[in-house]
Chain A
């Protein structure tokens, strides 16, 4: 199996005036195609920063991020945007749908950016897959939180990403809705064979992945294969 994400000696330091603040240090791990992984840790441990670096949303202070064989550190912001469009999908805690676009238009954006054809049909198929075909022309404000996150899932899978990054995907949802979204996420991920990186506080959700990386104070304190993997083995 090929390695999709390879993190080596990753470090991130912010400067407050002249005072450096290192929030991540010595991070090393790699994920293979189809892996699912949860990054867990207390608030302020650096998990979201790590997700941002892995997805090419930010630049590391030291070390390297190689995504699908592309070294992100040497790329410009626009080149990283191109990488994201080609290989990466995102799911955010607060859904991050574009409020001025309808549900179907939100799903179409990554496809249109790639210059694909029949994007409307593809987007409609995806909306149907998440159970929202009939609400395709609704704006985000006209949808409930769960529905918005389902549109977000459809959008995340629309460009057939190699790797999917999810930041607290159920953090803003009630338990029942959260479970439905979780199921949909894992089902879609399995169907597409996408590598999944999940940042969460929710240990129950983390247990559903193959691997849990625990972070504390900016360093990896444990990297374990989960019981789901052990049970399935």
Chain B
């Protein structure tokens, strides 16, 4: 028992001597995992495109051109136009802004709350831990999307409510993983030593244990980004996401279906392809980060 906890915790420990500069680290990544590095670049490009949406999008996302309604892709509109003549390419680009904001916000918020909760559970143990584990179990008894739907619907649509709704579905994951990491860290000698010299609870948790949770936290956060993007798109598709006319990928697909019996193919193809490419990039980047930071967690998060 002790042997296994030790090896597990050691995998998480990062000796201070091995910390390198940012650029040196980056070079190691490119050399050791070129594929992950490539997808990292794709992810970075998507983020850059989203951040610079006013510059990268050829048209304003809400501007209708009534002379070009439901037009297939052409030189003027690379991805065609929708039923009221809005440029699909511009809407896809602006949609990435919304999707990424929501996904990043939800994952940061949810994983952080979960991680802090897991830290407290693992550190204090006892009745608090027991009760918390039950609550987390209840949260996990809901399929992710259904829980997010219910919360988003109850809170009413909007960027913040969608972030909260998705974040709540991410809490159990952070809680579970960080708790188990803390449980194994707690037994290590350096933590015992800190307790021995009289460190208080806050100092023990935040100064000695928390820094070692950074690697699993990062791995969790990146692997859940993709899930968050898909949930956001699904919420938009089901009409409980960010209300129109704000362009999001889910809203665009929903609009395409609402418009008539047969949606034009370019209104379906491009927003969905954007979702797929983004999720693919983040998932593969996440895999790479996981392998790099902690090969032992392979497949477990």
Q: Do A and B come from one complex?
A: no
Residues of chain B touching chain A, judged by Cβ–Cβ distance below 8 Å, are none
Residues of chain A touching chain B, judged by Cβ–Cβ distance below 8 Å, are none
